[in-house]
């Protein structure tokens, strides 16, 4: 538009660059309308936001919450520092309580070919936990398909009751005794077989034990004429899976068929050594159970041509240890063979000490025996024992198992007498009570106990200077000497040269305090005999001959030591025109109590953890 007052338009008006830029920047009508609408909207919203800001007070919880949480955390840390640390709280000791149930299994209660097998079950009285209700059941082990079979006529109703099953000319399944309540403490069972025929002559016996997960047997063989059979019994209601390993002079044998064996519930099976590992002069069995529990036993028989050379059960050996005690080496000059096995991967060096009635000594020829890892080594004890009854005290630098195979021609034997065989094995010392039942009372039989107080072990090989060869570890009797009585002095010696009499020489344990031992004889169905009390010095063996009770077919012997632990073994001898028949085995501690851990409060369990935010 022109500012000319005439109102006429200007012709050919000139446009400067500044005018052009202003024309480009000037808003259009549409832009002016949109701008007015935006300004009106902002005016309407401004009072609403102001009212909202006035209605909402300032939030002061953020800083205050941080302060409160920090204070609570500091208080909890301080309280935790005042509470006793978990690592400082000593674990509660197990409380010994009477057992609630016990089980024993006799593996072979039957007999054939003129032999007679007697299985005896007894509950020893006078034990803790027998003042309550109880029950007992004695049955034959029934397989899943067995329903028709008469049960044994053994009734156990109260502590002190006893019963027997006698079998001849019939085979029977394993005999199982189960007790609960008052009859659980003191359950013992024994199986013995007597055969006087020309073809199977022998006397054998074994303790009937309860199921376990590991078993060792030392002294088998599979040379010509020998037969060793491993009997496995599963008395429980579920299958058991196990491995059986066999070791010989060359080490462990490869027996894949004996790995992962499955023994069904209430089942029994037999593994024959001659089939799995023939021509072994000495062997060691190990039964290791992967799941479940089983009872294991090994029977060993020897025949030379048509002449029987002995028959007996090999007692289970104590688990591998660096100290092994083998009681029950009977007197006599027939062959006594020590069998050693080092089951690990390290060679063993074993020191041998003989504990006798006259004292303990290290024999000249057996002061040290090397056992390569995994192998079985044998050594003759005949010369070192010189006919004495003894207990072996073995010390090794690595765990071992041990046993003794011994022959005996009998009391008053002639040059034509037949030898009998029996076995001894590493045993567990008895500190409370032990017992064996089914001991015979018939004419011509005798029962003898050997009780040993072992004393302290020998120094491990290589840790102390060796003692003079052939001498007692305290300077006592020479290896070839005869056991001395309590008032005897050693022949050819004087007090100032050899340390005086055997009983005046300090024992290896460093203590002269004897262990007081009470032997109780409980005849079946008759009054108990007067107790026999003996004192056993450390490093000594005491022989106890049991008087034959009258008016009873069998009896139970119970041993209770006071003031220390002892080892116990017995021998049963039956006179026979062809030579005495013998058997026996080391005793085990009686299972009367079990350790139960007490319940204790735990603040970590009582206070629940904080909930997640």
Does any domain span residue 79?
no
| Host H or E run for residue 595 | strand 593-596
Over residues 196-225, the pLDDT tens digits come to 887 788 999 999 999 999 999 999 999 999
Question: Regarding predicted confidence, which is higher, 376 or 17?
Answer: 376
Tokens of 341: 């096995």
pLDDT of residue 580: 87
Give the integer Cα–Cα distance in Å for 494 and 490.
8
User: Which residue, 276, 184, 296, 174, is CA-closest to 227?
Assistant: 276
Residue 29 region by backbone torsions, left for phi larger than 0, else alpha for psi between -120 and 50, else beta: alpha
Name the residue range of residue 508's domain. 95-596
CA distances in angstroms from 83 to 69, 76, 88, 604, listed in the order given: 21, 11, 11, 11
Q: CA-based angle 442:314:178, to the nearest 5?
A: 75
User: Which residue, 289, 313, 350, 351, is CA-closest to 217?
Assistant: 313
This prediction has a pTM of 0.78
78 HSE (CA, 13 A, CB side): 6
Over residues 322-359, the pLDDT tens digits come to 999 999 999 988 899 999 999 999 999 999 999 999 99
Question: Regarding predicted confidence, which is higher, 142 or 568?
Answer: 568
Does any domain span residue 44?
no
Residues comprising the chain, all counted:
613
User: Which residue, 390, 413, 279, 397, is CA-closest to 338?
Assistant: 390
- Cross-strand partners of 206: 191
Tell the residue number behind the tokens 């026979």, with chain if given: 576
Give the integer Cα–Cα distance in Å for 421 and 309.
7
Give the integer Cα–Cα distance in Å for 284 and 194.
26
Give the integer Cα–Cα distance in Å for 220 and 227.
8
pLDDT of residue 55: 45
At residue 50, φ and ψ (nearest 5 deg) are -65, -40
Mean pLDDT of the chain: 81
pLDDT of residue 512: 81
Inter-residue contact 456 to 509 (CB < 8 Å)? yes
What average pLDDT does the segment 534-548 reach? Answer: 96
* pLDDT bracket for residue 409 (50, 70, 90): confident
pLDDT of residue 474: 35
Does any domain span residue 26?
no
Q: What is the tally of structural domains in the chain?
A: 1
Does any domain span residue 109?
yes
pLDDT of residue 304: 84
Question: Regarding predicted confidence, which is higher, 91 or 587?
Answer: 587
| HEC sequence for 423-443 | EEECECCECCCEEEEEEECCC
Chain-centroid distance, C-alpha 296? 14
Give the integer Cα–Cα distance in Å for 398 and 209.
28
**Which range among 192-196, 302-306, 502-506, 555-559 shows the weakest confidence by mean pLDDT?**
502-506
* pLDDT bracket for residue 513 (50, 70, 90): very high
Give the integer Cα–Cα distance in Å for 253 and 244.
11
Tell the residue number behind the tokens 């005996």, with chain if given: 408
Tokens of 549: 């009770």
pLDDT of 14 over the 80 cut? no
CA torsion angle for 251, 256, 258, 260 (degrees, to 10)? 120
Q: Which of 55-59, 452-456, 562-566 has the highest mean pLDDT?
A: 562-566
**Which range among 34-48, 182-196, 487-501, 589-603 shows the weakest confidence by mean pLDDT?**
487-501
DSSP calls for 98-153 = E-SEEEEEES---EEEEEEEEEEEEE-SS-TT-SS-EEEEEEEPP-TT----PPP-
- Other C-beta atoms closer than 10 Å to the C-beta of 211 total 18
- Cross-strand partners of 515: 536
Inter-residue contact 381 to 388 (CB < 8 Å)? no
Does any domain span residue 462?
yes
Over residues 247-294, the pLDDT tens digits come to 999 999 999 999 999 999 999 999 999 999 999 999 999 999 999 999
Q: What percent of the chain has pLDDT over 70?
A: 72
* pLDDT bracket for residue 507 (50, 70, 90): very low
Q: What percent of the chain has pLDDT over 90?
A: 60
pLDDT of residue 116: 95
Does any domain span residue 352?
yes
Handedness of CA 168, 172, 174, 178 (dihedral sign): negative
User: Distance between terminal CA atoms of the chain?
Assistant: 75
Does any domain span residue 68?
no
Does any domain span residue 315?
yes
pLDDT of 193 over the 90 cut? yes
């Amino acid at each position: 538009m022109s500012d000319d007052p005439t109102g006429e338009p200007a012709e050919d008006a000139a446009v400067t660059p500044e005018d052009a830029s202003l024309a480009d920047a000037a808003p259009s009508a549409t832009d002016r309308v949109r701008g007015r609408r935006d300004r009106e909207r902002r005016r309407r919203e401004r009072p609403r936001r102001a009212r909202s800001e006035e209605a909402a007070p300032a939030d002061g919880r953020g800083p205050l919450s941080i302060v409160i949480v920090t204070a609570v955390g500091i208080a909890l840390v301080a309280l935790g520092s005042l509470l006793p640390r978990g690592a400082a709280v000593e674990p509660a000791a197990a409380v010994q309580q009477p057992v609630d149930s016990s089980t024993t299994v006799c593996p072979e209660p039957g007999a054939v070919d003129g032999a007679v097998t007697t299985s005896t079950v007894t509950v020893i009285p006078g034990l803790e936990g027998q003042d309550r209700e109880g029950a007992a059941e004695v049955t034959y082990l029934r397989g899943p398909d067995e329903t028709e079979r008469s049960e044994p006529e053994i009734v156990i109703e109260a502590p002190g009751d006893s019963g027997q099953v006698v079998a001849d000319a019939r085979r029977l399944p394993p005999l199982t005794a189960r007790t609960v309540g008052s009859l659980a403490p003191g359950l013992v069972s024994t199986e013995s077989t007597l055969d006087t025929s020309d073809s199977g002559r022998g006397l054998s016996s074994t303790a009937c034990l309860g199921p376990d997960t590991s078993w060792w047997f030392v002294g088998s063989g599979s040379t010509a004429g020998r037969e060793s059979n491993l009997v496995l019994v599963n008395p429980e209601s579920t299958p058991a899976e196990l491995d059986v390993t066999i070791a010989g002079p060359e080490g462990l044998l490869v027996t894949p068929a004996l790995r992962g064996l499955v023994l069904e519930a209430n089942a029994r099976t037999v593994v024959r050594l001659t089939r799995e590992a023939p021509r072994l002069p000495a062997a060691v069995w190990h039964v290791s159970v992967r799941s479940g529990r089983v009872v294991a036993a090994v029977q060993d028989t020897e025949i030379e041509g048509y002449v029987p050379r002995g028959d007996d059960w090999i007692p289970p050996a104590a688990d591998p240890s660096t100290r092994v005690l083998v009681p029950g080496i009977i007197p006599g000059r027939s062959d006594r063979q020590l069998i050693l096995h080092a089951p690990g991967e390290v060679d063993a060096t074993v020191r041998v000490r003989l504990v006798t009635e006259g004292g303990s000594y290290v024999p000249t020829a057996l002061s040290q025996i090397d056992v390569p890892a995994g192998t079985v080594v044998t050594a003759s004890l005949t010369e070192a024992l010189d006919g004495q009854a003894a207990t072996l005290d073995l010390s090794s630098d690595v765990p071992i198992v041990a046993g003794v195979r011994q022959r005996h021609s009998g009391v008053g034997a002639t040059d034509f007498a037949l030898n009998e065989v029996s076995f001894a094995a590493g045993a567990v010392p008895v500190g409370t009570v032990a017992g064996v039942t089914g001991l015979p009372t018939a004419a011509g039989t005798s029962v003898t106990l050997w009780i040993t107080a072992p004393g302290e072990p020998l120094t491990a090989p290589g840790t102390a200077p060796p003692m003079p060869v052939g001498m007692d570890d305290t300077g006592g009797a020479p290896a070839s000497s005869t056991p001395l009585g309590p008032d005897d002095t050693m022949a050819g010696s004087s007090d100032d040269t050899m340390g005086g009499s055997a009983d005046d020489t300090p024992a290896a344990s460093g203590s002269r305090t004897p262990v007081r031992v009470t032997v109780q004889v409980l005849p079946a169905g008759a009054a108990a005999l007067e107790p026999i009390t003996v004192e056993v010095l450390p490093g000594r063996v005491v022989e106890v001959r049991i008087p034959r009770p009258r008016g009873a077919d069998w009896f139970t012997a119970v041993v209770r030591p006071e003031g220390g632990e002892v080892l116990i073994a017995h021998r049963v001898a039956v006179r026979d025109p062809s030579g005495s028949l013998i058997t026996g085995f080391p005793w085990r501690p009686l299972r009367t109590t079990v350790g139960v851990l007490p319940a204790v409060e735990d603040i970590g369990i009582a206070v629940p953890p904080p909930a997640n935010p």
